[in-house]
Amino acid sequence: MPEQAHIIAGRCTTVFEGTREQEQHGEMLVVVKPDNTVLVHDADGYQPVAWLTRPDSVTVTSDTVAARDGDQSLTVTVHESRTHGRHQISEAGLPVGDCPECGNELLRTDGRISCPDCETASPVPRDATVLNDRCADCGLPRVRVQRGCSLVCCPDCDSLTDRVREAFDRQWGCPECEGDLRVLYRGGLLLGCDRYPDCEVAYSFPTGTHDGECECGLPVFETATGPRCLDSRCESHHANVAD
């Protein structure tokens, strides 16, 4: 859904205090984003002349913008306002087709597919490829991800963890005990021993496809940076690659 940003243009004085002390005066453009980031631009280039990124607090009045983040503060005093208002703003992304709810353009942004005009939004892995194929149930575009094999799923109707679990749960034994490696989700996909907490072996599930076994007994994955053992610290695999 669109949010709102404050846009102010006019003759202003900025005072920054904190890591440096700075005061500037001129005809400037002030932008206060929905995440509280304050940017102050003059006529030159793309770099702001003053800014605070996601400060703890921002107060906007008719003649002042006051932002504070710990020991840093930015105050903008508006002496003469040319423009002062709130305007809709949304994330920018790659168009990926029509929204199944409202018919407007869906966008692929960092970590999700969403519509800037309605509440349609679903998370997608950052490495996913968005396909032209649509889900028959919800109408969202399906995505392809590489998690041990190539998996095509709907970002809203399907669980990537369940799909990976169907393919790779208990496929390999734990290298430290007689347990099996289970597909788990703990803030990210893992292969972890089913004897936890007695055995705490766990590895992040690589972004890539399964491509054979390492001398240590764990699987090898072909990734964008080359083959790697499930255990990124595996000495056997590093020795073979070096040879």
Residue type, 71: D
d(C-alpha 175, C-alpha 181), whole Å = 9
Residue 206 CB: number of other CB atoms within 10 A? Answer: 23
Q: Provide the 3-class DSSP secondary structure of residue 92.
A: coil
**How many of the other CB atoms lie within 10 Å of CB of 100?**
18
Report CA dihedral (90, 94, 100, 103) to the nearest 10 degrees. Answer: 70
User: Tens-of-pLDDT digits for all 243 residues of the chain?
Assistant: 668 999 999 999 999 998 888 999 999 999 999 999 999 999 999 999 999 999 999 999 999 999 999 999 999 999 999 999 999 888 889 999 999 999 999 999 888 999 988 888 999 998 999 999 999 999 999 999 999 999 999 999 999 999 999 999 999 999 999 999 999 999 899 999 999 999 999 999 999 999 999 998 999 999 999 999 999 888 765 545 444
**What is the C-alpha R_g of the chain?**
25
Q: How far apart are CA 240 and CA 191, in angstroms?
A: 23
Residue 82: phi and psi, rounded to 5, are -90, -40
Instruction: Tell me the domains of the chain and their CATH numbers.
Output: 3-89 (2.70.180.20), 94-158 (no CATH), 166-242 (no CATH)
Rounded Cα distance between 107 and 215, Å, is 44
Q: Would you say the pTM of this structure is higher than 0.75? A: no
Q: Could you tell me the two tokens for 212?
A: 């054979």
